[in-house]
Chain A
């Protein structure tokens, strides 16, 4: 316990004790108070001391506020650094990093409670996927060729649902020269038609597998 910190600690305790005694004397002994004269009468020096103190406080103050706010963030960043660089935040160590389930994109359209208005590119993609799923399901459950499955799809004999049959038929999408009104109706009806088609494909496959 003879290090510089220990010496400084003892010295400061002594200074503190002396300061406390002097303070108590100033507070409770009026004669002492009158005996102690303020050492400087120069007002410029007083103002300079105050300005320096105020500047110091103004500089440090914002850092105190900012540092408190960013402390937790820094700790998280340090923890992330221990993980794989450039990868997603692992979050809490108690949990497996979250990854989406297969079919998330379709889920947003088929299982959404609210009507979704999708851009034409996405609608075409979903229609293409459902059409391909329908063809492959027919091939799988009927043990036929792809051409036969495609022909059944075009004739619409693979399902009892006329909406589903029309949805996956070639050219079942909106015409390029269709009117704005038709295009709007198609856009609004799309999720419902896709949902019915998905159900039809799933039930067709289920029936085929049980046969």
Chain B
């Protein structure tokens, strides 16, 4: 977006006034005095406006950093045009949940044709996959009379992953088809033999028995079904809480954990769905396949469904209505992995209701509470009490301190 600044407008006003008064008073001195002002007023119209010929390249020193580790980000700006950019000012689009520890994400330079400049800064890695925003560049011409504001996109991700091998408690299925059912079907475990009925598939006829006795029989196997899992994220207003300044809020941790859970379920070939409580309810029905998992990842990264910067307006669907919608969406008994910081009663009630309706519920709760004041201490106590109340109600809870790897937290939760 290009715009003309008001830097030289003062000269224009001075030129007009001086010459006007000079003419009125018939004073040639005043008219002559207006000449420098006229020159300054015309000057910005004679310089070339800046062209958006800037290119950006961003690189990250550490590909797989640990939580809390310092990571150096290097940004290179290149003038790909054939004219000098006399005033380049850039603010890099640091991912919202990353904070700059040292250096500066801002830079200013003069760039000749084909030349480049480099600057670097250090961010602190936090759990999750952090996508950098486009950098914002402001270009000015030599006179400063025209400003061009543009964005420079460079696809950069900082992934601070915490992969898991197993899905949390209450979820016994570790690979596809490991959930045994009482129905006979097309599995691999022998169930029973019965007389052949027209329409039975030839592959299930016991040909050995037919060779021995001439009797046509059909073998049934125990049918194996994979369990359906729904990752349910609590991203209501109260969940946008963090342990202090420059700290990541609970919803960001939930998103990081959901990503790992999705990948674990996907690796096991299990149907997995996504539900999000937020301004409105979001639902992605359980399914399998890489295309579905990619859709689920996109849903988690969509700023409309799961905003990472806290929204300012919360006039959406009420909490109760969202919980009701979840219950109507998940039909048969399902494994629900409820991700919530447990900062109010809603997740407690939802987990209890789902469990009462026959679903297997596990709560994974990132801990963002802190000590340091009486109010914070009570908030922490109330969360611990909720965890206890859930466990007493038979709902397993993984109490996750984000500094701890997710796998460790899940194993610790299994031991309780």
**Which residues from chain A sit less than 8 Å from chain B, CB to CB?**
5, 8-9, 12, 16, 19-20, 23, 26-27, 33, 36, 38, 46-47, 49-50, 52-54, 56-57, 60-61, 63-64, 67-68, 71, 75, 78-79, 82-88, 90, 93-111, 129-130, 132-133, 136-137, 139-140, 195, 198-199, 201-202, 205
Q: Is the Cβ of B12 less than 8 Å from the Cβ of A82?
A: no
Q: Is the Cβ of B91 less than 8 Å from the Cβ of A79?
A: yes
Interface residues as binary, B240-268 with A (CB distance below 8 Å gives 1, 0 otherwise): 11111111110000000000000000000
- Cross-interface CB contact of B19 among A53, A100, A133, A137, cutoff 8 Å: A53
Q: Is the Cβ of B241 less than 8 Å from the Cβ of A26?
A: no
Q: Is the Cβ of A64 less than 8 Å from the Cβ of B13?
A: yes
- State how many angstroms separate the Cβ of B405 from the closest Cβ of chain A: 21
Q: Is the Cβ of B46 less than 8 Å from the Cβ of A111?
A: no
| B389 contacts across to A, CB distance below 8 A | 136, 139
Q: Is the Cβ of A12 less than 8 Å from the Cβ of B13?
A: no
Contact sample, A vs B, 6 pairs, CB 8 Å cutoff: A63-B9, A101-B368, A136-B386, A137-B381, A139-B385, A140-B388
Interface residues as binary, B255-283 with A (CB distance below 8 Å gives 1, 0 otherwise): 00000000000000000000000000000
Known A50-B23, A64-B9, A78-B136; judge A198-B241 contact (CB<8 A). Answer: no
Q: Is the Cβ of A102 less than 8 Å from the Cβ of B369?
A: yes
- State how many angstroms separate the Cβ of B115 from the closest Cβ of chain A: 21
Interface residues as binary, B300-327 with A (CB distance below 8 Å gives 1, 0 otherwise): 0001000111111100000000000000
| B313 contacts across to A, CB distance below 8 A | 86
Q: Is the Cβ of A75 less than 8 Å from the Cβ of B149?
A: yes
| A93 contacts across to B, CB distance below 8 A | 91-94, 100, 105
Q: Is the Cβ of A133 less than 8 Å from the Cβ of B96?
A: no
Q: Is the Cβ of B303 less than 8 Å from the Cβ of A87?
A: yes
A195 vs B268: C-alpha distance when bound (angstroms): 51
A57 vs B37: C-alpha distance when bound (angstroms): 13
| A88 contacts across to B, CB distance below 8 A | 309-312
| A50 contacts across to B, CB distance below 8 A | 20-21, 23-24
A99 vs B370: C-alpha distance when bound (angstroms): 14
- State how many angstroms separate the Cβ of B24 from the closest Cβ of chain A: 4
A137 vs B46: C-alpha distance when bound (angstroms): 76
**Cβ-closest chain A residue relative to B46:** A9
Instruction: Given A100-B241, A129-B378, A140-B385, output 13 extra A-B contacts at Cβ < 8 Å.
Output: A16-B35, A19-B35, A63-B9, A82-B93, A83-B133, A88-B310, A94-B99, A101-B242, A102-B241, A103-B379, A110-B375, A198-B374, A201-B381
| A202 contacts across to B, CB distance below 8 A | 374, 377-378, 381
Q: Is the Cβ of B17 less than 8 Å from the Cβ of A129?
A: no
| B180 contacts across to A, CB distance below 8 A | none
A154 vs B307: C-alpha distance when bound (angstroms): 44
Interface residues as binary, B74-115 with A (CB distance below 8 Å gives 1, 0 otherwise): 000000000000000001111011111000110000000000
Q: Is the Cβ of A102 less than 8 Å from the Cβ of B341?
A: yes
Q: Is the Cβ of B303 less than 8 Å from the Cβ of A49?
A: no
Known A86-B313, A133-B385; judge A199-B6 contact (CB<8 A). Answer: no
Among all A-B residue pairs, the 10 with the closest Cβ atoms: A53-B20, A103-B379, A107-B375, A136-B385, A50-B24, A94-B100, A106-B375, A67-B6, A102-B379, A84-B303
Q: Is the Cβ of A111 less than 8 Å from the Cβ of B5?
A: no
A22 vs B173: C-alpha distance when bound (angstroms): 96
| B377 contacts across to A, CB distance below 8 A | 103, 198, 202
- State how many angstroms separate the Cβ of A1 from the closest Cβ of chain B: 11
Q: Is the Cβ of B312 less than 8 Å from the Cβ of A102?
A: no
Q: Is the Cβ of A111 less than 8 Å from the Cβ of B375?
A: yes
- State how many angstroms separate the Cβ of B9 from the closest Cβ of chain A: 4
**Cβ-closest chain A residue relative to B374:** A110
